[in-house]
Amino acid sequence: MSGKSLYYDIINMLKVYGDYAEIYIEKTEYNSIVFEDKNLERFENVHDSGIGFRLIRDFKTYYAFTNSFEIQDIKECAEAICKYSESGNSDYLLDFTKKEFDYNYKKLPKDINIKDKIELVKRVDSNGWNSNLVKQVVTTYKDTIKNVRIINTEGCDYSQQLSYITLFCTVICEKDGVIQTGYESLGGLYDYDTFIKEDVEKVSEKALKRALLNLDADYAPAGEMTVVLSSSAGGTMIHEAVGHGLEADLATNGLSVYQGRLGEKVASEKITVVDDATFMGKRGSFLFDDEGVEAQKTVLIKDGVLISYMYDRLYAMKNGVQSTGNGRRQSYRYKPIVRMTNTYIESGKDDPEDIIKSVDKGILVVKMGGGQVNTVNGDFVFEVNEGYLLENGEVKKPIRNATLIGNGPKIMQEIDMVGSDLGFGIGTCGKDGQGVPISDAQPTIRIPRITVGGK
């Protein structure tokens, strides 16, 4: 094997042993700045580079990786996975299409002086201390530049550069022995100029406001009632209670309530659910996925009818369909698996204000918290970080310590009003020990009856 064509030589070798093979080459650098108790607690600058080799044969995956770029180490790593698969007959050489995908970033975070970044985070952090009830503020900034190249037996040689920036703040307040926490975040796939045009310095202000609000709030009432989820609540419910169940590895292995239901009505006719990696600037976006499949928009549920799952290459092969571009991995150390990107409920036709006015008695959820979901049966429990009582169509006093308890498929069937707005949230989705950046979103929606956990 020559050094010049080493990767092409390896792919031509691997194709003899399997139905599909790829090389994933990654070079990543990230900076992290953390302020705690008004001081710079931590600064990190980390470089991580490596190569992953994957072979699929008879729907079995063989994977190896190395963080060495020495020719001998690369060859040995690639040859290692061939030992576990039988050689086939393939004497033709692949022709490769080389393509560099580009977001045309104007100013990358690595081009910004680290002192300027630290000063920005310091200002954000200081805004979180504007109350004598504040006990702790933690503000974290992180930027990541990930350069990826994928060469595979489809003849692709694709490269892309991804620039992620995130900022989040947690504020803890105490009053009369009661402790409450406020949290706010923002971030996306964009350059530094786009980042600073966001409401960066208001992140800690919003976290502080939420913590103070909950200190004086009454406990949430308990029982079944009407709940309005504001578009500002983020798409936690759609991501957790519905999205994971539509990932093909779960949906075809008896681990999803949506298994075997393609073509069936699984939600209200007002509901359309989409996974879309082509959204500009969103945290779950990319130009091609971690298997070299170009980013795409996939309609999962259309007017209440389930029409598609999300597929990576492996589960597309198993089901005789095309990949939907949902093969993702945390880094070169991991094999790709089926993952969401930017998942959301499409906007509807109802005025958000009319949705609120339609409720005689219930609660308004302005910000969702964390939660749990059982993908096998769809049952979930979610925390409410910011909520209010609704009475006679008006927003009343704030409430705290509320939880939403229900069943995803059942709730999707019962939603009867869908707003014309759309609000995004960001996160890092964990699955099988891997975390990948995602966004989720929803319009304002009304759930006629759902169990609220409270006092």
Per-residue pLDDT, 234: 83
Q: Map out the domains of the chain with their CATH numbers.
A: 6-216 (3.30.2290.10), 219-453 (no CATH)
- The per-residue pLDDT for 2 is 40
pTM beyond 0.85: yes
Average pLDDT, the chain: 94
pLDDT at 90: 67
Lowest mean pLDDT among 141-145, 257-261, 373-377, 446-450: 373-377
- pLDDT tens, position by position, 190-216: 999 999 999 998 999 999 999 999 999
Average confidence (pLDDT) over 53-76: 94
> Per residue in 288-338, pLDDT tens?
999 999 999 999 999 999 999 999 999 999 999 999 999 999 999 999 999
Q: Greater confidence, 106 or 26? A: 26
Q: pLDDT band for 365, please (50, 70, 90 cuts).
A: very high
> Of 131, 163, 129, which Cα lies nearest the Cα of 146?
163
Per-residue b or e along 432-447, where b marks 16 or more CB atoms closer than 10 Å to that residue's CB: eebebbbbbbbbbbbb
Mean pLDDT of 237-247: 93
- Give the percent of the chain with pLDDT over 90: 89
pLDDT at 86: 72
- The pLDDT of 240-259, averaged and rounded, is 94
Average pLDDT rounded to a whole number, residues 36-41: 95
Confidence tier at 287 by pLDDT (50, 70, 90): very high
**Angle, alpha carbons 144-443-262 (nearest 5°):** 90
pLDDT band at residue 1, thresholds of 50, 70 and 90?
Answer: very low
Whether the pLDDT of residue 4 is over 70: the answer is no
Mean pLDDT of 56-66: 94
Q: Which of 81-90, 137-146, 193-202, 411-420 has the lowest mean pLDDT?
A: 81-90
Q: Decide if pLDDT at 407 tops 80.
A: yes
Range with lowest mean pLDDT among 23-27, 35-39, 234-238, 297-301 = 234-238
What pLDDT is attached to residue 174?
A: 97
135, pLDDT greater than 70: yes
Distance CA 165, CA 183 (A): 17
Q: Using 50, 70 and 90 to split pLDDT, how confident is the model at 89?
A: low
56-73 average pLDDT score: 94
Lowest mean pLDDT, pick from 75-79, 227-231, 284-288, 415-419: 75-79
